[in-house]
């Protein structure tokens, strides 16, 4: 069976950045299961997997536009420390949920200068060219429930 819309796909993968540093991997874990065509994975990887079958291995380089997007300067904001009531020690790398016009969004503290806290709402991998080494380990038709829910169920997928 080939990977197509409404198929559940299980893959083993290793994700590296442009410098070759491993950012994530399924090595030693269950494969990642996703519902193809439901935007469960980044578009560049999903598009490269169309038509592949069990046993296929591929190396996919994904540019930011087909990955986590370019870095958007408007998602970086300076906020006064007073916005963090009850939190005395704010450190670089801390993450918070911020209310935005698009709903709640995770933000990361990227700079602390006195009472000025700089937050970044970009995905941590935004602006990066990513390379995936992928092996397709299973392809099956999605159940009606999986299509309705928009994700794979069971091992490596969503557990209800």
For the chain, the structural domain boundaries read: 7-68+126-149, 73-120
Tell me the mean pLDDT in the region 23-33. Answer: 96
Confidence of residue 88 (pLDDT cuts 50, 70, 90): confident
pLDDT tens-digit series, residues 103-140? 898 999 999 999 999 999 999 999 999 999 999 999 99
Higher per-residue pLDDT: 105 or 59: 59
In the chain the beta strands, taken as DSSP E runs, fall at 7-16, 22-25, 32-35, 57-62, 76-80, 95-100, 103-113, 116-120, 130-141
Domain at 73-120: CATH code: 2.40.10.330
Please tell me the pTM assigned to this model: 0.83
* Tokens matching residue 120: 């970044």
Across the strands, what pairs with 10?
A: 33, 138
CATH topology of domain 7-68+126-149: Chitinase A; domain 3 (3.10.50)
The confidence score (pLDDT) of residue 156 equals 61
**CA-wise closest residue to 109 among 132, 135, 131, 89:** 89
* 82: Cβ contacts below 8 Å, ≥ 6 apart: 115
The confidence score (pLDDT) of residue 159 equals 57
């Amino acid at each position: 069976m080939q990977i197509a819309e409404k198929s559940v796909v299980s893959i083993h993968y290793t994700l590296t950045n442009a410098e070759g540093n491993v950012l994530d991997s399924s090595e030693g874990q269950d494969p990642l299961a996703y519902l193809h065509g439901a935007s469960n994975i980044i578009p560049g990887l999903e598009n490269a997997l169309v038509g592949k079958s069990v046993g296929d291995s591929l190396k996919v380089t994904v540019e930011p536009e087909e990955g986590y997007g370019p870095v958007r300067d408007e998602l970086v904001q300076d906020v006064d420390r007073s916005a963090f009531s009850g939190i005395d020690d704010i450190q670089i790398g801390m993450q918070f949920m911020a209310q935005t016009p698009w709903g709640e969004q995770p933000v990361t503290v990227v700079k602390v200068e006195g009472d000025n806290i700089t937050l970044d709402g970009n995905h941590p991998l935004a602006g990066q060219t990513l390379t995936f080494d992928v092996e397709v380990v299973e392809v099956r038709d999605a159940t009606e429930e999986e299509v309705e829910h928009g994700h794979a169920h069971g091992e490596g997928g969503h557990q209800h």
